[in-house]
Amino acid sequence: MTTKLPLYRDPNASLEARVEDLISRMTLAEKVAQVQAVSLRDSTAEEEGLAGIVKAVRDGISQGIGQIENTFDPRAPEESVREVNDLQRQLLEETRLGVPALIGSECAHGHAGLESTILPVPLAMASSWNPELVREAFDCAGREARARGAHEAHTPVLDLGRDPRWGRIEETFGEDTHLVTQMGLAAVSGLQGGCSGEPGTSHIISAPKHFAGYGQVVGGRNFAATPIDSRTLHEEVLPPFKAVVQEANALGMMASHCEVEGVPAHGNRWLLTDLLRGEWGFKGYVVSDYNDVPRLEFFQRVAESVEDACEMALSAGMDVDLPVAQGYQHLLKVIEERPELEEHLDVSVRRILWLKFKLGLFENPFVDEEEVGSVVDSPRHREIAERIATDSIVMLKNENELLPLKKGKLRSMAVLGPNAATKQVGNYTVGRSQIASFLEGLQDAAGDGFKVSHAPGCAIAKVGWDGKRSTLEQRSMEEEEASIAEAAQLAANADVAVVCVGGTTETSREAFFVDGIKGDRATLGLLGNQLELVRRVVETGTPTVVVLQGGRPYSIPEIERLPVAILNTFYLGQASGTALAKIVFGEVSPSGRLPVTVPRSVGQLPMYYSQKRISFYKDYLDEEPGPLYPFGFGLSYARFEYSELRLQSPEISRGEALRFSLKVRNVSEVDGAEVVQVYLRDNYASVVRPDKLLVAFQKVDLKAGEQRELEFVLNPEKDMSFIGREGSVCVEPGTFELEIGSSCKDVRLEGSFELLD
């Protein structure tokens, strides 16, 4: 006699029917378990090592669990798979209903697991201005995460990175709404295996963050207030999130640490339910940023107890409390005392179960231990990591066309600076054995018969505060002077010098509450004696290339005035050295463009290009006008000419698209890629508008002498709308101007058209 399986075990039944059958069988405690999480990083068991952490997790899933956090996985891929499979097996075999867990991860620039492929940080990837390559990069991350047993990543960051003081700016795709939107769509579709919202068995759920507005923390300080006006919120902050929900079908969303118009995101029903689900049609689940449910009580003080915080978050639409349910561990007691909340609980549990069924976890929650090695850091993934790293390097200056270096005319090179031999790749990684530093990459590319010498020159000071004054922890001045002198001597004896300066993951990172970890800065210059090192090397008369590396843009007007070449790299991932060598020796022409505006000094902030037009009317008494480097800026070894801008019509109606074309020719003898940027200016509007906005761009590869015709389409409802005086979205008739060029400042072609009423 065969036992009939319950409906939720029937793979042929609809997802909705399976969800309803399963939830009808669950006790209150089992339902509460589904909105909770445990973490394989649980610090309470650290003294026992990984074994102790795993034991704590096992003890915490006896009633089932919604999610197991396996972020920053320190295990080798095969070991990681075994551990995750064992936990899923326990859930299937040792809990009453056998509900598998979602496994959470991080994939900001590659899956954050030991030996996973490390990609450039998002700010570097955005510098590529190449959405298709970014999609391929996140496709690699999604495949590696799933191969290791993960189902969801708290990725990508869709905050606007407009304050370079903020330690998390490296996690963003830059300052501009349109650029962030295009990169966000690429990242989500890459992680989820396309735009269908069907990750299948090879990809994962993308949960973009921080919803919404976290990048606008006042003063660039982590966890600070976010005073965003309603128009800025709707016109600039929210569009990337809306796009990934409606165009890429993101199945997850991580709420923000911040508040929206005074209401914390984790307790904001308008944000998490009315807007996200009601207006935008979001179908997935919302996860908390780490420990932000209890922060409603002890940090933001909008709840009088942790129990009140639980009620506020659950009622708002917060589905899972990460990483270890510090708030929702009280939820069983809360609902027993306030039974009306079970209705909200059931809504969240339905969403979580629906995703588990959608991912096929009830049929097979396990991953193949034998196959993970062929996926993680595969040859294809390494090749993509190198391509996007190379594409992301921005040439800021090339005095006397020093670059590219010509091996046949040079016999020696001094590779100097505190970042020359570093293998730092950003903050959202675990580590891997194969990372080439800039020094190693240049040595390998130089080849036999080419002498490469190295000296650090100086240290990057560690910033601190001793309670009374700012301190810079570094070597003694005697040691620094001796080291700088050694570097200058090496430069004097070389045909060319490459000086690698910038920052470290200690001087630019997410600032935490615990352990006094800081990562935001009040200044934007190079720390310690790095500027002195560059000056001393240049004084030798040796041709000098300055390479900037770090997690934020640096204000370096003193270096910009020197006769040097300057390359900006941010963190380029595991292929840093190889990518730099390809650019320096001319194997590839630099094609990166800045995704942020670089100010001359911190006193110019805010400095993003798309501020309201009245913001740039007056300049400072004691500072040179304008930015050090404008948004979209970047140089190439090739030269490009723009011509023949043709608008299909000088007039369009609201229901028509504006279609136009132009030609770009490579007029040099060097192959290269140009990023054609289209900016729109609304000449007159009922409210004060930005001076101009990026509305389209294309990156085009052109061989020497090649010409290409590019076509663009703008939609009034999407590209010309804004929040009007009445507080609703509108499209107003009037005249508009197009500015087309290689940055927001370098305009090559101009045109105008009229939008008819």
In CATH terms, is domain 393-616 a member of 3.40.50.1700?
Answer: yes
Q: Residue 164: what pLDDT? A: 97
Range(s) for CATH 2.60.40.10 in the chain? Answer: 640-755
What's the order of all strands across the beta sheet hosting 640-647?
640-647, 658-666, 707-714
Angle subtended by helix axes 530-539 and 477-492, to nearest 10: 30
Per-residue 3-state assignment (H helix, E strand, C coil) for 692-720: CEEEEEEEEEECCCCEEEEEEEECHHHHC
- The stretch 296-319 carries a mean pLDDT of 96
pLDDT at 663 over 60: yes
**pLDDT digits 0-9 by tens, 130-170:** 999 999 999 999 999 999 999 999 999 999 999 999 999 99
pLDDT given at position 468: 47
Mean pLDDT, range 636-650, rounded to an integer:
97
Q: Is there a contact between 754 and 720 (Cβ–Cβ < 8 Å)?
A: no
Q: In the chain, what is the greatest distance between 2 CA atoms, to the nearest angstrom?
A: 91
Coil, helix or strand at residue 262: coil
Which structure tokens are listed for 523?
A: 């200044």
Q: Where are the alpha helices (DSSP H) in 116-247?
A: 122-127, 131-147, 177-192, 230-232, 239-246
pLDDT the model gives residue 41 = 73
pLDDT at 51: 67
467 pLDDT higher than 70:
no
Per-residue pLDDT tens over the stretch 453-466: 999 999 887 766 55
β-bridge mates for residue 314, sequence order: none
Average confidence (pLDDT) over 726-735: 94
The residues, any chain, with a CB within 8 Å of residue 5's CB and separated by 6 or more, are none
Lowest mean pLDDT among 47-51, 373-377, 662-666: 47-51
Q: Which of 258, 260, 252, 272 is nearest to 312 (CA)?
A: 272
d(CA 576, CA 570): 10
Q: What 3-state class would DSSP assign to 723?
A: strand
pLDDT at residue 128 greater than cutoff 60: yes
Q: Is the pLDDT of residue 564 over 50?
A: yes
E strands, 7-65, are 37-39
CATH 3.20.20.300 corresponds to the domain 27-375: yes
CB 503 within 8 A of CB 552: yes
- Helix/strand/coil for 548: strand
CATH 3.20.20.300-classified regions of the chain: 27-375
Chain-centroid distance of CA 232 in Å reads 21
Torsion of CA 646, 648, 649, 653, to 10 degrees: -130
DSSP summary character for residue 161: -
CA distances from 330 to 254, 306, 418 (A): 21, 8, 49
Looking at residue 617, its pLDDT comes to 80
- Residue 43 has what pLDDT? 42
| Contact present, 579 and 119 (Cβ < 8 Å) | no
> Would you say residue 50 has pLDDT above 60?
no
DSSP structure string for 357-385: HHTTTTT-----TTTHHHHTT-HHHHHHH
- At 320, the amino acid letter reads V
Q: Each residue of 236-279: pLDDT tens digit?
A: 999 999 999 999 999 999 999 999 889 999 999 999 999 999 99
Look up the CATH number of domain 640-755. 2.60.40.10
pTM assigned to the model: 0.96
Q: Is cis: bond before 210, omega within 30 of 0?
A: yes
At 449, which amino acid appears?
G
Q: What local confidence, expressed as pLDDT, does residue 2 receive?
A: 59
The pLDDT value given to residue 514: 65
Residue 9, SS3?
Answer: helix
Is the Cβ–Cβ distance between 25 and 96 less than 8 Å?
A: no
**Starting from the edge strand earliest in sequence, which strands make up the sheet with 451-455, in order?**
394-398, 565-568, 544-549, 496-502, 412-416, 451-455
Q: Which amino acid is at 339?
A: P
In this predicted model, what pLDDT tens digit does every residue of 165-220 receive, in sequence order?
999 999 999 999 999 999 999 999 999 999 999 999 999 999 999 999 999 999 99
**How many angstroms separate the CA atoms of 298 and 39, rounded?**
22
Phi, psi of 56, deg, nearest 5: -60, -40
Residue 169 three-state SS:
helix
**Residue 18 belongs to what H/E stretch?**
helix 15-25
* Burial readout 236-267 (b: 16 or more C-beta within 10 A, e: otherwise): bbbbbbbbbbeebbbbbbbbbbbbbeebbbbb
C-alpha to C-alpha distance for 318 and 296, rounded to whole angstroms? 12
User: Quick one: average pLDDT of 533-542?
Assistant: 98
